[in-house]
Structure 1
Amino acid sequence: MDLKAVFTCFLAVLAVKVTSASLYDPHMFPDKGPFFEGWYMRVSDLYSRDSFGLLFGSVLPSSSGNITAPLVVASVLLRSCDKTIDTCKLVSSDGKFTLNDLNITVKGQPVQSDPDKTAPPDFKWQVNSGSQGGYFEQKGGITTFNFRLGDLILRGKATNPSYWNDQGTGPEGWLINLPLPLHWFVYSLRSELSSCEIQNVTSGAVTKVYTGAVHLEKNWGNSFPRQWIWSEGVSFDNDNATFAMSGGLVDFPFLSVNAYLIGYRNPMKKLSLDFRPVDSLISTQIDGCTGNVSVSVYSLRYKLDINLVAPVATLSSCLLGPEMHGFVRACVESYDATATIQIYERNLLLFGYKLIEQKKFEKIALEFGGMHVCGGKCSNSMPPEEL
């Protein structure tokens, strides 16, 4: 055996893992639904503290008959501010398309296999119908996007992604390998914005962002859960702290469980914490009518307390989310929420905790989905024509 060759190959594998995260690449659609795959991006302007989002994805429905909901959607999310009441409400400009309008490629070719987390991402998601549509491309560490949806044109570029971890598994860790009904993967907690502008083609107004942090993630599986919350935020201080969390009611064939994935990063304090259902216990209090969320999570070494609040007036109308028969009214979201996070470390004698980090994040994203939406106003039973 050529030990030198084996060692060289081993080093090459390690080098690939350091630049991994290709679960961001598209998956193969199965022969039969239900299946969906969607991507989400949020840009936070580090100067003005404004932010906006982009989401896009497609659904393979559980049946082919009488499908009225859109199967392909792309949306731009903006804060619409009323200076007279000093409040900004999140609004959505949507494009609804068919599967025939959609073209997804990996390395310039049609998708031929599921992504492998040992290679960097290289894909392009593109949709066009008349004057509407656009593309999102991820090639190595460079993200580019250019969409026209409704009266809005959004285009820009981001570089230098900050991966969730070096193994390419994202928030789920080794759970990513299980056939779960829903997966959540964060490609970058904080990419650097190179350029970005958003233009209203009707009014002619143009907004440019020169210094920003970009959050990049995706979901795939059967459909969104019956109830969930999601949140993400970046620090506007020099510590570059970030957090992201997602969780809700996950349905399995014979039971349903509440499961949450939470990550917190503060590079200056060398904090990189993950909490998953297999290694932590969690308690939550969620009130979509007041916009309040309280979370306490315990692991063997750490305790994490998170308090999230979104002023009700800043919550969007119902946004589109993927279900088994297409995109439907599913959730509400704010980009003007606040998170207060306290981190405790268990002492050496395993009795009690010591506070090691206290951080407040402003202008974060907070989403209430499914049954967590106040009054069930985003009920999936609403007729598709009312979307």
Structure 2
Amino acid sequence: MEHFAPHSSVFEGWYSKFDLPSGGHVALVICSVPNATSLPPHMVSFTYYPKSGSPIFQREHWVSSIDHRITGPDNAFELLVPDMGSMNVAADSTTTYDLSCSDWTLQARTRDRTPWGNKKSTPEGWLVQLPLPLHWHVHTLDSSCDFKLDIPSLDLPASDQRCVASVHQEKNWASSFPSSHMWIQARNGDRGIYIAGGKILGVTAYILGYRSPDLDFDFLPPFAMCVLGISPSMKVDHDWDSRAFHISVQGLWRKIVVKASAPGDRGWFGLGSPFPEGHRRNFCTESFLATVEVEVSDRGWWGWKERRREVFEHASLEFGGEYFPERGDKGD
């Protein structure tokens, strides 16, 4: 199964985060709940996020439909949004974005792809075969792309209007978002840390991947899992009031500690999230001003020995569901 391509599920959502030369970002979400019962079924969310984190330009479009079309062999497909445009993914994963409305226009085309890893194609590994209520796929950790952007109401930096940007692509699908979740995405050159997880099926579970040229590993359940708040291998703490998240996971021979935080007074924007009844508005919130500290240790004869310590700035940090007490429809 090609995980980035359309499936038959309660919902499917594609997330693209573009990093721009100015230090700003664009977050684009295209998501559908085809058989939604009471809330909006189809969402295109566009967010332009300047380097400073303010002011944030955001539009959530509750469109009439989003058509998923297979356009060729080898899982080539297109997401077609009436009166707005499309996202087209070729068999070689080249992705072309061509979306426009009165408030904004985005055109982009990827040049390459950095997949999740050499040993497996998706963060979940064997877990992707299970009928979980939510699946998480990272299609590219970092792809360079030719990029054009226009927002008539903003005086965009010249470097963001037409440039070579980089894009991180993900997809979620299955039944619904979890009742509570966290998400981290941070990259600097050829190094990165990627985390997603929360409460699912009565347990707290996470998937974590660290990437660098000389150190490349993942942690999944059962190591990255708590039952009734108890785990011999994982500790996790989330604190919305201080906008901070901490997770520690260890296996037999390796341990990673990740600490993430972001300013509480600026730089946060809400996103709708898919559930069987449709999209719940403002169910999660993201900041691209996070600082993420990573410490990796290996087990030696006399205990843990530090192998890597680094800090990522201007990283992505997301609180969702019960971890985001201010969630809920803002009435916009």
Same fold (TM over 0.5): yes
CA contact (8 A) 1:90 1:334 kept: no
Q: 1:154 aligns with which of 96, 100, 106?
A: 106
Structure 1 equivalent of residue 13 of structure 2: 38
Q: Check if 1:184 corresponds to 2:128.
A: no
Q: How many residues align?
A: 320
* Per-residue deviation, 1:204: 7.0
Supply the distance in 2 between the matched residues of 1:233 and 1:94 (Cα, whole angstroms).
Answer: 25
Structure 1 equivalent of residue 327 of structure 2: 378
Structure 2 equivalent of residue 111 of structure 1: none
* Per-residue deviation, 1:59: 0.5
CA contact (8 A) 1:56 1:73 kept: yes
* Per-residue deviation, 1:282: 1.8
Q: 2:191 aligns with which of 203, 227, 241?
A: 241
Aligned residue identity for 2:295: Q
Are the structure 2 counterparts of residues 121 and 355 from structure 1 closer, same or farther at C-alpha, using a change threshold of 3 Å? farther
* Per-residue deviation, 1:257: 0.7
Structure 2 equivalent of residue 274 of structure 1: 218
CA contact (8 A) 2:19 2:25 kept: yes
Supply the distance in 1 between the matched residues of 2:216 and 2:102 (Cα, whole angstroms).
Answer: 40
Structure 2 equivalent of residue 352 of structure 1: 303
- Matched ranges for 1:47-62 at <5 A: 47-61=21-35
* Per-residue deviation, 1:88: 2.7
TM-score of the superposition, structure 1-length normalised? 0.77
Seq. identity, %: 27
Supply the distance in 2 between the matched residues of 1:41 and 1:75 (Cα, whole angstroms).
Answer: 10
* Per-residue deviation, 1:342: 0.8
Q: Check if 1:128 corresponds to 2:72.
A: no
CA contact (8 A) 1:337 1:365 kept: yes
Supply the distance in 1 between the matched residues of 2:327 and 2:6 (Cα, whole angstroms).
Answer: 28
Q: 2:61 aligns with which of 95, 99, 103?
A: 95
Which SS does the other structure have where 2:167 is aligned?
strand
Note the residue ranges of structure 2 that are not aligned, 5 or more in a row. 225-232
Structure 1 equivalent of residue 183 of structure 2: 230
- Matched ranges for 1:145-224 at <5 A: 145-149=97-101, 151-166=103-118, 169-193=121-145, 195-202=146-153, 205=156, 207-208=160-161, 210-224=163-177
TM-score of the superposition, structure 2-length normalised? 0.89
Note the residue ranges of structure 1 that are not aligned, 5 or more in a row. 1-20, 30-34, 109-118
Q: 2:5 aligns with which of 25, 29, 51?
A: 25
Which SS does the other structure have where 2:54 is aligned?
strand
* Per-residue deviation, 1:143: 1.3
Aligned residue identity for 1:76: F
- Matched ranges for 1:67-146 at <5 A: 67=38, 69-80=39-50, 87-88=53-54, 90-98=56-64, 101-108=65-72, 121-129=75-83, 133-139=84-90, 140-146=92-98
CA contact (8 A) 1:303 1:343 kept: yes
Are the structure 2 counterparts of residues 315 and 226 from structure 1 closer, same or farther at C-alpha, using a change threshold of 3 Å? farther
Higher fraction of helix: 1
Supply the distance in 2 between the matched residues of 1:277 and 1:209 (Cα, whole angstroms).
Answer: 42
Q: 2:284 aligns with which of 310, 331, 339?
A: 331
Structure 2 equivalent of residue 250 of structure 1: 200
Which SS does the other structure have where 2:3 is aligned?
helix
Structure 1 equivalent of residue 230 of structure 2: none
Q: Check if 1:288 corresponds to 2:254.
A: no
Which stretch shows the higher mean deviation, 288-297 or 313-322?
313-322
Supply the distance in 1 between the matched residues of 2:138 and 2:53 (Cα, whole angstroms).
Answer: 30
Aligned residue identity for 1:378: R
Which SS does the other structure have where 1:38 is aligned?
strand
* Per-residue deviation, 1:201: 2.9
Instruction: Name the larger-Rg structure.
Output: 1
Are the structure 2 counterparts of residues 160 and 80 from structure 1 closer, same or farther at C-alpha, using a change threshold of 3 Å? closer
CA contact (8 A) 1:94 1:150 kept: no
Which SS does the other structure have where 1:314 is aligned?
coil
Supply the distance in 2 between the matched residues of 1:310 and 1:95 (Cα, whole angstroms).
Answer: 27
